[in-house]
């Protein structure tokens, strides 16, 4: 079964307090749902249309698990806390194996 990944690239962070509230709630939602944070806030080299703002990569055991975690009530609470505090590109992708 192929793994699932959350890829989140932040274009702008306009409200760090909302991001902090989101981070706390998102951790409570993602980790119990089986998500493992592989990368966050590390060094970035951006190419082409890339950005050097915050990037987060979370791995799940399956694509379905990744989708279910996003749709969960706990994660939706985290999103509500984030609201308009950031502009980001968020994707759920299926791994190759």
pLDDT at 52: 87
The predicted-structure confidence for 11-36, as pLDDT tens digits, reads as follows 999 999 999 999 999 999 999 999 99
Range of the domain at 66: 4-94
List the alpha helices (DSSP H) in the chain.
16-30, 63-71, 73-82
What's the number of CA atoms in the CB half-sphere (13 Å) around residue 94? 6
Please give the model's pTM, rounded to 2 decimal places.
Answer: 0.92
| CATH number of the domain enclosing 21 | 3.30.70.100
* Domain count of the fold of the chain: 1
User: 55: helix, coil or strand?
Assistant: strand
pLDDT at 69: 98
The rounded distance, in Å, linking the Cα atoms of 11 and 35 is 23
User: 72: helix, coil or strand?
Assistant: coil
pLDDT at 42: 87
């Amino acid at each position: 079964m192929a793994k699932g990944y959350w890829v989140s690239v932040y274009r702008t962070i306009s409200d760090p307090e909302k991001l902090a509230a989101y981070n706390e709630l998102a951790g409570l939602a993602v980790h119990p749902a089986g998500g493992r944070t592989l990368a966050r806030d590390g060094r970035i080299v951006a190419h082409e249309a890339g950005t050097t703002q915050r990037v987060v990569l979370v791995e799940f055991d399956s694509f379905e698990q990744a989708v279910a975690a996003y749709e969960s009530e706990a994660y939706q609470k985290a999103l509500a806390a984030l609201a308009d505090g950031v502009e980001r590109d968020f994707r759920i992708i299926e791994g190759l194996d």
